[in-house]
Amino acid sequence: MFYYEKRPWHDKGVALDHPATAKEAIKHGGLDWEVEKVPIVTADGTPIKRRVAIVRKDLPHSDPNRVLGIVYPGFKPLQNKEAVALFDCLVGKGEPVYHTGGYLGNGEVIWLLAELPDKFKILARDDDEVRLFMLFTNSHDGTIAVDIRITAVRVVCWNTLKMALSDRSRFVYKRWHRGDYGSIPQEIEALLERERQRFKSNLGGWHEGFSLRMNFAESWKDFCPTQNRHRSRMNGAAGNMRGGWNG
């Protein structure tokens, strides 16, 4: 994994002195590899028809870490480079915006975390600024859908990813692995537009800058209701976190 700014609790990953571009995120996040589906057979050579294995193409056949999971034959993998390119169409557009990213386990799950620009920051209680991120998550073993959401959780490991994915944020986009991933940016833009209109309607007038001084107890809790819990949960989370990041 890579990170910008604060060092993760586990003291792993590549430290950057600036947010990463999409190209840098692939390099420093260890995401420059692909997966493929391969048939499964029993020890006596009998083919298993209703399941296939997902394996990393960059690892030798003798490496047990090559197998990432077992999925149904219709599973359509979203390759890492394609995933990063799609996400970058939404938040980066070639600019350095990524604060953390990498893969978990042997590559079963990948993520990228981009900080939203200043205009998306919300001031709570006048002096406490809530930093919002756009999180992209994908799994190669089928356990997590393609997931894009707004969160206040800085993802650096399994547990912080779980915390982010448990957010009951109104802005969550999911797509199961059925292919046709090229339409994701357009679908996300449509979802963002609906959220913009919702905020505009709820606030009774909203300028284009999106720089809002909102009432934390009412507006932010409605947008990302688990934020208050994250701060207390994060304090004791390190002792319960399990490994699975790439160094």
- Residue 133 CA to residue 185 CA, distance in Å, equals 17
Output the pLDDT for position 122: 55
Enclosing domain of residue 126: 2-191+220-234
114: in domain: yes
Q: What average pLDDT does the segment 94-101 reach?
A: 96
Q: 123 versus 10: which is more confidently predicted?
A: 10
**Is residue 241 assigned to a domain?**
no
d(CA 49, CA 42): 11
- Residue 230 near residue 153 (C-beta atoms within 8 A): yes
pLDDT for residue 142: 95
Q: What element of type H or E holds 101?
A: strand 98-104
pLDDT for 129 equals 67
**How much is the mean pLDDT over the chain?**
81
Query: 245 is written with which tokens?
Result: 């990041």
- Residue 207 within any structural domain of the chain: no
Burial group, residue 62, by CB count within 10 angstroms (0-12, 13-18, 19+): exposed
208 in a structural domain: no
The CA distance from 8 to 160, in Å, is: 11
Q: Using one digit for the tens of pLDDT, what is the confidence trace for 180-225? A: 999 998 898 888 788 777 766 765 544 444 333 333 323 333 444 4
244-247 long-range Cβ contacts below 8 angstroms, 24+ apart: 244/104, 244/105, 244/157, 244/158, 245/1, 245/10, 245/12, 245/13, 245/102, 245/103, 245/104, 245/156, 245/157, 245/158, 246/1, 246/29, 246/30, 246/102, 246/103, 247/1, 247/12, 247/13
Distance CA 212, CA 124 (A): 10
Q: Does residue 38 form part of some domain?
A: yes
Residue 106 is assigned to a structural domain of this protein: yes
User: Is residue 153 assigned to a domain?
Assistant: yes
- Read off the pLDDT of residues 53-86 as tens digits, 9 standing for 90 and up: 999 999 999 999 999 999 999 999 999 999 999 9
At 146-192, the pLDDT tens digits run 999 989 899 999 999 999 999 777 689 999 999 999 999 889 888 87
Of residues 42 and 229, more confidence is placed in: 42
Q: What is the pLDDT of residue 192?
A: 78
Contact present, 71 and 142 (Cβ < 8 Å): yes
SS3 category, 158: helix
φ, ψ for residue 179, nearest 5 deg: 90, -170
DSSP state of 160: H
In a domain, residue 65? The reply is yes
In the chain, % of residues over pLDDT 90: 61
- The Cα-based distances of 76 to 53, 118, 175, 220 in angstroms read 12, 36, 11, 36
Q: Which of 48-52, 97-101, 166-170, 211-215 has the lowest mean pLDDT?
A: 211-215
pLDDT score, position 210: 39
pTM for the complete prediction? 0.79
When divided into structural domains, the chain yields a total of 1
Using an 8 Å Cβ cutoff, are 140 and 54 in contact?
yes
Residue 167: the pLDDT is 75
- Bridge partner residues of 139 (DSSP): 109
Of 167, 174, 156, 173, the residue nearest 220 (C-alpha):
167
